[in-house]
Structure 1
Amino acid sequence: MPTSAKQHPADKTAQRPQVVPYIAQWSAEGSAPRPQVVTRRGRIAFVDERRYDRDADGILWTRVPFQPGKGTPQFGHVHALRQRNAMERLLCHVCGRPADSNSDGVLWLLTEEPRCPPEGGSGDVVTEHPPLCLPCAHIAIAACPRLRHDFTAVRVRAFERAGVRGALYQRATPHPVPIDVVSVAFDNPAIGWVRAGKLLLRLTDYQPVDLYAEDHVPTDERSLLRP
């Protein structure tokens, strides 16, 4: 669930988001030392690798502590496990509850290229952003400058796992070193050299919708701000 961000009483002019997104990282989660990366069996690995460091496809994931609500919210950083959980379970990336779904599909807000064509469904869209519930979609638009500027609301009827986004490493002595942040498809051999931080989904069947014409749009904005 989202956690309310407290405003310092001495700063009456500061305007901070009232809701911390479910997928946002907290300072206590980002302060832990990262495990050393080594080369093992022709791919990167953690020197003290644990069973849960890799997913069912054998992809190495960023190891991040799970301490939501501890410290201060890091709005520019995404918690790898919660982002992946939201993508796989179709959870709203703001509140962590199930995303809005009806007969037309699951609700997403898109800002990245390629943009969704007006008629919908005539070109795949790959996204790193999880879906949303309807109340939180309005919260996100109000809180995010990029969304306020431009977004496309879509109902998605079909999607598939596309790949991951994360740090790409190259061989080096004595240990491999990160050289770039990339998006890599599951069938790309380079994925063995990526420390994943985000799961990517490919939206294959979708239709743009008028978000403000959707049913049960809340009329009292205060009802959108969940503790």
Structure 2
Amino acid sequence: MPGIIAPYVTAWSAEQDLPCTLVERADGSIGFAKELPSDRDRHGVLWQQTALRHRVGRPEFARVHPLRQRRAMELLLCQVCGGPADVNDDGVLWLQRDYRGDWPQWPNGMASVEPPVCLACVPVAMHMCPALQRGAVTVRVEDCPVVGVRGVLYKKSVLAPAVAAAGNFTYDDPAVRRVVASAVIRELRGCVVVPLDEPSGTATRSLSRSGPRAT
């Protein structure tokens, strides 16, 4: 699409993480010392606070902006242009690295932090992303519930909460109360792999309903 020089979810050099002091809360969770209601999602999970200065400076393709990723995943927006993702009778369109050898019926059950795409942006993404050029597939996803977040888990320490581990956390995991999130996770279910040159088409549907597998 004309004018796009970086995907919508990409962070720019002017969008650095904001300094936020972590504190212990009486209920055993963590919070920010000067916390605002907007610092948490609707599930009560704390989110990384990052400056919002889209298209200021230079794109940093290795970083994803937490707020734009969250918005794209919650509203099912195209990760490239930020407009609505493509949807037809077979589901929402995703563009993925081709890992069909990972498990039978891939990518059913995959926990994805990558938002979907629109039809027009499939060739754009293929042109922009060297990883996709090494092998990619378009997938129609029948059901893609939000199931959790990717972020950093903090443990109790003497002076302040300290980093314990980074990973994926479901919303029903008690540990999520001590996580600073940076990405929304959707589980991909009822997937149909379709030809890259015909992403509006369909193929045989896989119906695995196993638990989410990490990307």
- Shared fold, TM over 0.5: yes
- Counting matched residue pairs gives 200
Displacement of 1:120:
6.5
Cα distance in 2 for residues equivalent to 1:120 and 1:71? 38
Partner residue in 1 for 2:183: 198
Measured against aligned partners, the alpha-carbon deviations of 1:140-177 in whole angstroms (never above 9, x if no partner) come to: 11221111112221111111112100111111111011
- The partner residue of 1:61 within 43, 47, 57 is 47
Cα distance in 2 for residues equivalent to 1:120 and 1:172? 40
Instruction: Output the amino acid matched with 2:144.
Output: F
Instruction: Output the amino acid matched with 1:144.
Output: C
Displacement of 1:179:
2.7
Displacement of 1:3:
9.4
1:169 aligns with 2:154: yes
Partner residue in 1 for 2:141: 156
Q: Unaligned regions of 5+ residues in structure 2, if any?
A: 202-215
1:107 aligns with 2:93: yes
Cα distance in 1 for residues equivalent to 2:38 and 2:20? 14
Larger Rg computed on CA atoms: 1
Instruction: Output the amino acid matched with 2:70.
Output: R
87 and 112 in structure 1: CA distance in 2 versus 1, 3 angstrom threshold: farther
Which has a greater percent of helix?
Answer: 1
Over the aligned positions, Cα root-mean-square deviation in angstroms equals: 2.3
Cα distance in 2 for residues equivalent to 1:137 and 1:187? 34
- The partner residue of 2:32 within 46, 66, 69 is 46
- Identity over aligned pairs, percent: 37
3-state SS in 2 of match to 1:169? strand
Cα distance in 2 for residues equivalent to 1:212 and 1:82? 28
Q: Unaligned regions of 5+ residues in structure 1, if any?
A: 5-17, 217-227
176 and 36 in structure 1: CA distance in 2 versus 1, 3 angstrom threshold: same
Instruction: Output the amino acid matched with 1:130.
Output: P
Partner residue in 1 for 2:65: 79
Displacement of 1:138:
1.2
114 and 45 in structure 1: CA distance in 2 versus 1, 3 angstrom threshold: farther
3 and 213 in structure 1: CA distance in 2 versus 1, 3 angstrom threshold: closer
TM-score (norm 1): 0.81
78 and 99 in structure 1: CA distance in 2 versus 1, 3 angstrom threshold: same
Displacement of 1:37:
0.8
Measured against aligned partners, the alpha-carbon deviations of 1:121-156 in whole angstroms (never above 9, x if no partner) come to: 8x4121000000112111111221111112221111
